[in-house]
Amino acid sequence: MLELRRYWYPVAAMADVRDEPVPVTLLGERIVLFRHEKGVSALRDLCIHRGAPLSLGRVEGDRLVCAYHGWQYDTSGQCTKIPSLAAGRPIPSKARARSYLAEVHYGLVWVCLDDEPALGVPPYPSYADESVTTVLYKPFCWQANAARVCENVLDFTHLPWVHDGMLGSRDHPVYPDVKAEMLPDGLYYALPDERNNSVRHYRVHGPFSVSLDVRANGPDGHNYSMLFTCAPVSTRETTQWFFTSRDWDLHRPDHEWEAFDAIVMEQDRRIVENQRPEELPLDLAEELHLGGSDAGTLAYRRYLRSLGVDWSQ
């Protein structure tokens, strides 16, 4: 998964990174987040001295203090104090924790494990749009491959079967063919939806983020947007963050929307966690595909291959 280290992933809500260090795992790497006056830092969750997790320590100002021997690390991971070191002796130059890029967007902490990100954080303009109401749900943690999770979002033909009566109907299982447009940072396709007189715009940003904009054909319809963005804990475990934005019922309680989407997400989880093989097959000959209706998901697999994604790394 070496190539995947070059992208930004959301790992925590900034509101949850407060006075104590927060441990997270991304692509198998254990990371500790800690908040300070300048923002938030992400370090490898390992003290270079004796291997204790830094997340067991405490935050003092802009320093992270190891719980084992009190070594202190600054926001860049450099060790600035060793309590047991005799006066006059310098701190070893190797006394530092590996640091990672960390930024805050849409209320989430995003981390990139590479010093040179391949892309920026996925755009979600609805977040700053005051004419809509935006809800960020609590993260969904699935025992599933991140690409499987994203492909499920892109696969509209499952809606009548997995979400019958909610997002589709088994009496109307046929959808129009789509044509995917490959882009430098992902792909795009549009799906006309006669069921509610709208057009669904699917957009992939980087390997594991999908935005969906539903636009009504007329001034009296409902418009909404969603952003699904995944943090791969490992090849078979994913934390999915999910935003929704709508331009109607602006003052309706958020918990009513969350209750509906919680049912939808649970219906999906039951399927996706049980797909085999666990990792999304990037060899197109491994599974049977249909032309037209599978064009979007096929394009997604080709896009991942173009990035050099290899689950065996």
Indicate the range of 158-162, 234-238, 308-312 predicted with least confidence: 308-312
d(CA 170, CA 73): 58
pLDDT tens-digit readout, 166-222: 888 888 888 999 999 999 999 999 999 887 789 999 999 999 999 999 999 877 778
- pLDDT bucket at 82, cuts 50 / 70 / 90: very high
Q: What is the DSSP string of 199-213?
A: EEEEEEESSSEEEEE
Neighbouring CB atoms inside 10 A of 94's CB total 7
Structural domains present in the chain? 2-112 (2.102.10.10), 130-306 (3.90.380.10)
pLDDT tens-digit readout, 130-161: 999 999 999 999 999 999 999 999 999 999 99
Average pLDDT, the chain: 94
Which tokens in the block code for residue 214?
Answer: 């539903």
Residues in contact with 50: Cβ distance below 8 Å, sequence separation at least 6, in sequence order: 68, 69
Q: What percent of the chain is predicted at pLDDT more than 90?
A: 81
Q: What is the pLDDT of residue 139?
A: 95
pLDDT tens-digit readout, 86-113: 988 999 999 999 999 999 999 999 999 9
Q: What is the mean pLDDT of residues 111-127?
A: 96
Decide: 249 and 256 in contact? Cβ < 8 Å.
no
Q: What is the pLDDT of residue 42?
A: 98
Which tokens in the block code for residue 27?
Answer: 């692509």
Q: What is the pLDDT of residue 168?
A: 83
Helix or strand (DSSP H, E) at 259: helix 254-272
- Strand, helix or coil at 65? strand
Q: Which of 97, 91, 90, 108 is nearest to 63 (CA)?
A: 97
d(CA 264, CA 89): 60
Which tokens in the block code for residue 39?
Answer: 């923002």
